[in-house]
Chains A and B, each alone.
Chain A
Amino acid sequence: MNTLLESVNLNKTYRVDARNEQQVLFDVNLRVEAGEFVSVMGPSGSGKSTLLYALCGMDRVDSGSVRFAGGTPESLVTLETLPEKELARLRLERMGFVFQEIHLLRNLTVMDNVILSGYLSGRRPRGEVNARGRALLERTGIAELAGRRITQASGGQLQRVGICRALINEPDILFGDEPTGALNSRASEEIMDLLTEVNCDGTTVLLVTHDVRVAARTHRVLLMKDGRLVSEQRPGPVEDDDEGEGEAEIGRREAVVGRREAEIGRREAVVGRREAALMEWLRDYGV
C-alpha cells in the first residue's frame, strides 16, 4: 500500500493574546494509506480540527512536517515548504473538503457551487466539468436541485452538494470535519453511505467526528486527547467484517447480492457491534 499522507512530529501553538499561548498539537505522527477510510475521534477541544487543517495545508504548524504523495510517488510534496499559492492549487486540485457548516456560496446556485472548483482549477474543459457536476448531483440524488439557490435546500441536501463540490476535481483525498455534525441520524447515515461509496471508488477519506456511529463505519479510528494521538482501532472495512458471522453469513450475503435491504441490515448489525466496541474503547481512555 502507498502512503498518501503522512505527518511527522506536528506541533502547533495558538497565541491567544500577547501573554497567553496554548499548545494544541504535541508531536502528532500519523499516516494515511491510499484508499483508506480513516476517522479521528476525541473530546471537544482536543485539537481534531486543528490537525485536519494542518494536514490539508490550510494552516501552518510550528514544527513538524506533512507529506502528501497525491497518488504517485513522484508527486510527493512537503506542505510546509510550499508557498501559499501552490498550497491553494494543491487543495483545489488534489483535495476535497466537507465541513460541518457546509459553507456554500450564497450567491451561486447549487450547480454553480459544485462546478466552481472545477472552473477555478481549469484542468478540464468547462463542458466536461459541467457533465461531471451533473453526474455527481445525479449520483447523490439531488439532480433536481441543480438550478436552485442554496437557501432553497435542506441541510442534508446541502451536505450532498458539499460532497459533490469536494469531488468535482476527482481529488486524491477527501477531508471532512464533522460532516454529519449538524444532521439528524437519518440524514447522517445517508451521508455516511455516500462517503463509503466514494471511498469504495478509490478516494481516500479522512474524517473528524465525535459520533461513534460515524466512526464505526470507517476502516481505522484514531483517538485524540489533549493534542496527542493516544490510540488507534482498526475495525477494517465493514465489507470485510466477518467476525462472528461465519462462512454461512458470507454465503448468504453473496446470495443476496443486489438486495440492498439485506445488505443494509447486515451492515447495521456490524456497525452496531462495532459501535459497542468503540464505546468501550473510548471509555477505557476516559472519553
Chain B
Amino acid sequence: MILLRILRRDLSRSRGTMSLVAAFVALSALLVAGGTGLIVTLNGALDALFAAARVPDVVQMHAGPVDRDAVERWAATQPLVAEVQLTPMIVVDAEAVYLAPDGTSEEGSVMDIGVVRQNASFDFLLDERNAVFAPQPGEIGVPMYYARRDGIAIGDRVRFRAGDHAATFTVAAIVRDAQMNPAIVHSKRFVVHPNDFAALQRLFPETEFLISLRLHDPDRADEAIAAYRAAGMPAVGPIVDRQLFRTLNGLSEGIVAAVVILLSGLLMVIALLCLRFSILASIEEEYREIGVMKAIGMPGRSIRLIYVAKYVAVALAASAVGYAFSRPLSALLAADVTEYLGSAPAGSVGGVLPMAAAAAVCAAVVVSAFLVLRRFRSISAVGALRGTGMRRRDDVRRVRPLHRSRRLGVNTVLGLRDVAQRPALYALLGFIFFFAVVFIVLPLHFLSTMTDPGFVSYMGIGTSDIRMDLRHSESMDHRFAELNAALAGDPEVARYAALVTSGFDLLRENGERESIAIETGDIGVFPLDYLAGAVPTAGNEIALSFLNARDLDVAVGDTVTIAVDGTPRRLTVSGIYQDVTNGGRTAKARLPYSAGAVRWYAFAVDVIPGVSVAEKTREYAQRFAPARVTDLAGYMTQTLGSTIDQLGTVTLVALIVGLGVSMLVTALFLHMLVRKDADRIAVMRRIGASRGSIRRQYRSAVLTVLALGLVLGTLFANTLGERLVSVLWSFMGAARIHFVVDALRAYLLLPLAFAAAVILITRIVTSGIGNPTGEIR
C-alpha cells in the first residue's frame, strides 16, 4: 500500500528529526509532570502541616506588656473568633545565641530569635513526625532553618549567654514551625520546657507576645483584623494572617516548581517548533506523491491520518517515557519539601495531576501536528504535479539580484539572499539564537556588574580605598578610639571617615515602634550615588535605603519620626540610596549616638597617591587584629562572595545550556533544510559547485541569522533585561541596576563561541550532502 510505504520511508528518513522531537517532548513531559508532582506534594504537605499544627488564622505580634484579660474578654464577645491564645516569647539577642559546632555566636544574623513554651491549644510547634513537641526540662526544639543550615542533630547543644550567665540545652527535636519555617521569614522560635522558660526569662527580660486567633470561618480574617484594631487591642508590631503563612511557606519551594515548569514550557515551545518544521519539511518532500495520491482520487483525510498516526505515536511514547521518569524526579525535588514541611499523606490526586500534565503535553503535540497538517488540504493535485503551488511560496520575495553584487563572495551572497528570501523559515532559528543569547548574556552582565568595584554604590557605602569594620565585642569602643587616633596621625592617609551604626526606634504613624539601624558620623565624606535626593547635611535630615523608604512609603521631602535618647524627633528624608547589605534596610543621619546602642563601627579610608593600598590594608589588619580591614574589592567579595559564586554557577549553566540548545536546534534545522533544498543542491552540484561551496552558502545564512540573534538578544538584555534584573533586585535593596558590561566576554568571546559552535555544526551537517547524480525531484 502506497501510504504505508511513504510512512515507512518517511520514518526512516526522518529518524534523526523524530528522535529529537521525541527527546524534547519527553523532557518537556518529564519536567512538567515533575513540577506538577512537586506542587501537589507541596500542597499536601502544607495542608498536613497546617492541620497538625492547628495554625492560627490571625496573629498579632506585640512588643510590650499585654492585658491578658482584656484581650480574652474582647475575644469572647466576637462571633468570628473561636479561640484566642497569648504566647509570651523571650527575645534573645543574636550574639547571645551559640548554635554552631565551632562555637561562634549568631551575631550579625538577620534573624530575630525568640524562645517560647509549647502552646496549649493551637499554634503547635511540631517534631519531625508532625507530632506536638513537648520538651522535657533541659531539652530544646531547634527550628528547621538552623538544623538545615548548620546540620544540627538531636543531642547537640544550644547555648544562650547573657553576660557571665549561660543556659545550655540539649536538642531534642528539630521543629517545624508552620508560621516561621521559611528562610525568608526573619523570625525563628525555639521551644523549651515551661520551667526553663521561666529561668531564661530572668536572663533575657525582654518579652514579646504573640496574640493568636482561630476563627470559625478562616476566610473572614480581614474582618477579624478590622474588629481587633477597632477595639484598640495591643498592636505594637505586625499583624499577619494564615494566608500569608501559606504564601511564605509555598514561596521558597514553589519557586523551584515554577522554574521547573517554566523550563518545561520553553522545551515544549522548542519541541513544537521542531515538530512543525519537521512536518513541513516532509510535506515538502512528499509533495508530489501527495499530489499523485489526490489525483488518483484518494481522500485527503486518509492521507492526513497516516501522517498524524506517526506523530501521535511519537508523542504518546515520548510523553509516557517522560511521565515514567517524572516520578523519581518529583521525589527528588520533593525531598526538600518533605524535610521542611513534612510528608504529604499519600492520596490519589498525587498520581493523577502529573499524569494529566504529561497528557496535556502529549495533546499539545498532537493538536499542533493536526493544525500543521491542515496544509494538506491546500495541496491541489494539479498544482503538485506541475510543481507549482505551495512550493513557490518560498521564492516569491524579490531581493537584490546576484549580478549586482560586487565585493562579497558569491556563496556568501547566496546565503544572505536565502535568509532574505525565506525569512519566515529562518525566523525559527533566529528565535532560538535570540533566547539563548538573552539567557546567557543576562547572568553574564549581572555577574560582571556584581564583580565590578562600582557595585559598592549598591551597597550603601561610598567608594574608598580601604574599609575597616569593627563588629560587636566587649572592647569595641576602645578599639574604635585607638583606630581613630591611628588614622588621624597617619601621614599616608589622605582622608578617612568614621562611621557608627547604632539601633534607633522608629515610630510609625499608627504608634508601632520599629528598630532601625542608622549610620551616623562622617557620612558625607565619601560620595555615594543617590537614587533621589542627597546626603543629609543638617541634623534634622535622614537618608533612607531604598527598601526602608519603600516600606515606610516615604519620598524625599517626607518626614519620619525617630526616637533619639527617648524623645521623638521628626527628620526630613533628604535622599534615598540603594543598599543590598544588612537586608537592604539601613539609614544615614547626623544624629548623636548613644554608646549603649552601637551595633558596629566602620572606617572608610583613602590613602595618598603612591601608597600601596594592599600594604596599608595589611598593616592595619595586623595592628588592629580582630578588626576586619579589607580593600574595597575584598570587602565586596566578603559581603557578596557567596552570591557571586552562585551567580557564577548560574552563568556557567546558562552558557552550557544556551550553547547546547543552539547547537542542537541548528543541527536539526540545517538537517531539515538540506533535505528540503535537495533539488537546489543537486542542481548546483551538477553544474560544478563543490560541497564546500554549498556549505559556505548555508554557513553564511546561519551566521547571518546568528548575528541578528546576537545583536537583538544583546540589545534586549541591555535594556529590558536590565530592568528585569532591577525589578528582581529591588527586593534585595537595589532598584536601579546599571549593567557594567564585560565587553571582552559578552561582545567578543561569547559571539565567537556561538559562531564556532554554529560553524562546527554546519560543517558536520553539510558533510552529508550527496554526490551530484543525486536524484532531482
Contact = CB atoms under 8 A, between A and B. Distances in A.
Contacts of A112: 401-403
B539 to A, nearest CB: 78
Interface in A143-164: 147, 149, 151
Interface in A72-123: 84-85, 88-93, 95, 97, 99, 101, 103-109, 111-112, 115-117, 119-122
A130 B395 contact: no
B243 interface: no
Interface string B662-704: 0000000000000000011011111111111100000000000
Contact of B773 (A53, A106, A130): A53
B401 A111 contact: yes
A149 B582 CA distance: 70
A133 B403 contact: yes
A88 B683 contact: no
Interface in B145-177: none
B377 interface: no
Given A92-B687, A116-B402, A107 B410 contact: no
Interface in A31-58: 53, 58
Contacts of B401: 108-109, 111-112, 147
18 contacts: A59-B773, A84-B690, A92-B689, A103-B679, A103-B683, A103-B686, A103-B776, A106-B394, A106-B680, A107-B395, A107-B421, A115-B403, A116-B410, A116-B687, A120-B693, A122-B410, A129-B403, A147-B401
A93 B688 CA distance: 8
A23 B685 CA distance: 25
B683 A105 contact: yes
B395 A120 contact: no
A120 B418 CA distance: 16
Interface residues of B, number: 32
A126 interface: yes
Nearest to A50: B773
A150 to B, nearest CB: 9
A90 B418 CA distance: 26
Interface in B392-436: 392, 394-395, 401-403, 405-406, 410-411, 417-418, 421
Contacts of A129: 403
A238 to B, nearest CB: 29
A25 to B, nearest CB: 14
Interface string B236-270: 00000000000000000000000000000000000
A88 B406 CA distance: 24
A176 B772 CA distance: 16
A165 interface: yes
B688 A90 contact: yes
A108 B417 CA distance: 9
Contact of A88 (B410, B680, B689): B689
Contacts of A106: 392, 394-395, 680
Given A107-B395, A112-B402, A120-B410, A88 B773 contact: no
Contact of A89 (B405, B410, B688, B773): B688
Given A58-B772, A111-B403, A119-B410, A97 B690 contact: no
A154 to B, nearest CB: 14
B35 to A, nearest CB: 44
A53 B691 CA distance: 18
B403 A165 contact: no
Give the interface size bracket for A toward B.
35 or more
B78 interface: no
A13 to B, nearest CB: 14
Nearest to B397: A107
Contacts of B687: 91-92, 97, 116-117, 120, 165-166
B771 interface: yes
Contacts of A115: 402-403
Contacts of B680: 105-107
Interface in A193-239: none
A248 B679 CA distance: 54
A39 B459 CA distance: 87
Interface of B: 388, 392, 394-395, 401-403, 405-406, 410-411, 417-418, 421, 679-680, 682-693, 771-773, 776
B688 A92 contact: yes
Tell which of A101, A111, A116, A149 has the most Cβ of chain B within 10 Å.
A116
Nearest to B773: A59
A124 B682 CA distance: 25
Contacts of A130: 403
A111 B693 CA distance: 20
Given A88-B693, A108-B402, 6 more contacts: A88-B690, A91-B688, A105-B680, A107-B421, A112-B402, A166-B687
A101 B117 CA distance: 93
B688 A85 contact: no
Given A104-B683, A116-B410, A88 B688 contact: yes
Contacts of A107: 394-395, 417-418, 421, 680
B351 to A, nearest CB: 48
Interface in A5-28: none
A114 B503 CA distance: 85
A4 to B, nearest CB: 18
A119 B688 contact: no
B381 to A, nearest CB: 19
Contacts of A58: 685-686, 771-773
A151 B392 contact: yes
Contacts of B402: 108-109, 112, 115-116, 119
Contacts of A117: 687-688
A95 B688 CA distance: 9
Most chain A CB neighbours (cut-off 10 Å) among B691, B772, B776: B772
A97 to B, nearest CB: 6
A92 B694 CA distance: 14
Contacts of B771: 58-59, 84
Contacts of B772: 58-59, 88, 91
A214 B354 CA distance: 72
Contacts of A147: 401
Contacts of B411: 120
The 4 closest A-B CB pairs, nearest first, are A92-B688, A91-B688, A119-B410, A112-B402
A108 to B, nearest CB: 6
Contacts of B406: 126
A84 B691 contact: yes
Contacts of A105: 680, 683-684
A286 to B, nearest CB: 29
Contact of A149 (B395, B679, B691, B773): B395
Given A108-B402, A115-B403, A85 B395 contact: no
A155 to B, nearest CB: 12
B686 A97 contact: yes
Given A53-B773, A105-B680, A107-B394, A91 B686 contact: yes
A85 B410 contact: no
Nearest to B407: A126
Nearest to A130: B403
Contacts of B689: 88, 92, 120
Give the residue among B394, B683, B691 with the most A Cβ atoms within 10 A. Answer: B683
Interface centre among A90, A103, A122 (most CB of B within 10 A): A103
A147 B405 CA distance: 15
A176 to B, nearest CB: 13
Q: Which of A107, A126, A130 has the most CB of B within 10 A?
A: A107
Nearest to A94: B688
Contacts of B690: 84-85, 88-89
Contacts of A111: 401, 403
B253 to A, nearest CB: 54
A88 B772 CA distance: 9
B685 to A, nearest CB: 7
A169 B403 CA distance: 15
A213 to B, nearest CB: 26
Contacts of B679: 103
A231 B684 CA distance: 34
Contacts of A91: 686-688, 772
